Amino acid sequence: MARITLEHVAQKAGVSIKTVSRVLNAEPNVSEETTARVRQAIAELNYVPNSAARSLSSGKAMSVGLVVGWPVNSPYSSTLIEQTLKECTRHGYSLALFSVEVEDAITRRIIDAYLGRQMDGVILDTRAAQDDELMSQLDALNVPQIIIHPDRRRVAAKASYVQIDNHLGAWQAVNYLIQLGHRRIGCISYDSSLTQETDRIAGYGQALADAGLPFREDRTMRKAGLPFRVGFSGAVELLTAQPDLTALFAGTDEIAMGVLAAIWNLGLRVPDDVSVVGFDDISYASMIAPPLTTIHQPIDEIAAIAVKHLIETVDDPDRAPIDLVMPTSLVIRKSCRALKLDVSQ
């Protein structure tokens, strides 16, 4: 299978390779007839431009990096990857994937990928942007970057951000429970200093405060470990110590899944005995039983914006950085019940 090049197409269409190149890149100033002739030749020869030659010549890798901040096989990360991949493809870019979890020497790997012109810029997710060594090297090279769910702003560097308001999201979740008539609401989350976690807990507290309810430390479980375990053991402890809790707010949907298992294990039912709200709206949330009421974060939109802005920044380094907060929304499914309406108890 001899490789088809511009040369072949040009010959077939009876034009110069530069003209074929123009048609390929939709550059102006090519007559319609010529364009048609070239397109025909391209189609007939089934020509696809050599991406390496393109990159070398243009100096653009046509690829963006994504550094995920959690295990690749977590629901959140894999959805982010899926959406980012989709957006890259749409823009004609390819995606270079990196994971802080699996790779040693991750900083080296990412920097080398940039230096080796394998990517034009990088999207950093949550914990990926926590790596000071990585960030300072990225800055030193002035690598176009956008951070998803930043834990903090980076004063020195010219970075862009896309995030959600975790505080508000948690507030929406807990406020919903309060509206349903719940008064004794527990909270289960990670024992982490990430603002993502602390904000969600703070939002829980805020919702309580706004309703004139007390924030009780003994109703707030902060546990370290695997998400499901955190939810399971957290719920067991909380419900054993305080059987009068009628609702539980879980810091993530994965935690919520552990919470559900715990509730069942205690011989209780969801939502009959205990209502549960999660956070993130991972794909499982709608699939499990009962379908989980949760706070949706628009990963698809976040990915779309991140990719679009990053590419724009690559094309125009003077592009102004962005700092967007995407809206979260309450998705009501079947894991909560209204207390007041239940006259049978």
Residues that bind DNA (CB under 7 A): 3, 5-7, 14-19, 21-22, 24-25, 28-31, 33-34, 47, 49-50, 53-54, 56-59
Among 23, 41, 61, 138, binds a second copy (CB under 8 A): 61
- Asked if 224 is part of the footprint of a second copy (rule: CB under 8 A), the reply reads no
- Asked if 13 is part of the footprint of a second copy (rule: CB under 8 A), the reply reads no
- Asked if 110 is part of the footprint of a second copy (rule: CB under 8 A), the reply reads no
Spell 164-182 as b/e; 16+ CB within 10 A means b.
bbbbbbbbbbbbbbbebeb
Pick from 140, 176, 145, 196: which is nearest to 306 by CA?
145
Pick from 41, 47, 40, 32: which is nearest to 12 by CA?
41
* Binding residues among 128-187 for a second copy as defined by CB under 8 A: 141-142
Pick from 8, 2, 92: which is nearest to 44 by CA?
8
**Which secondary-structure segment (H or E) carries 168?**
helix 166-179
Nearest CB to a second copy, comparing residues 117 and 184: 117
Task: Classify strands 247-250 and 185-190 as parallel, antiparallel or unpaired.
Answer: parallel
- Asked if 89 is part of the footprint of a second copy (rule: CB under 8 A), the reply reads yes
Pick from 96, 95, 165: which is nearest to 327 by CA?
165
Of 108-116, 166-174, 214-222, 311-319, the window that binds a second copy (rule: CB under 8 A) is: 108-116
Structure tokens at 91: 């823009």
Minimum CB separation from a second copy for residue 19, in Å? Answer: 20
- Asked if 21 is part of the footprint of a second copy (rule: CB under 8 A), the reply reads no
Among 11, 34, 35, 74, binds a second copy (CB under 8 A): 74
- Asked if 239 is part of the footprint of a second copy (rule: CB under 8 A), the reply reads no
> Which letter does DSSP use for residue 67 in this model?
E
Cα–Cα–Cα angle for 199, 204, 210, nearest 5°?
115
Minimum CB separation from a second copy for residue 58, in Å? Answer: 9
Minimum CB separation from DNA for residue 19, in Å? Answer: 3
Measured CA to CA, the distance from residue 101 to residue 76 in angstroms comes to 14
Residues near a second copy, by CB under 8 A: 1, 4, 46-56, 61, 71-75, 77-79, 81-82, 85-86, 89, 94-97, 99, 102-103, 109, 112, 115-118, 141-142, 226-229, 232, 257-258, 260-262, 264-265, 269, 283-284, 287-289
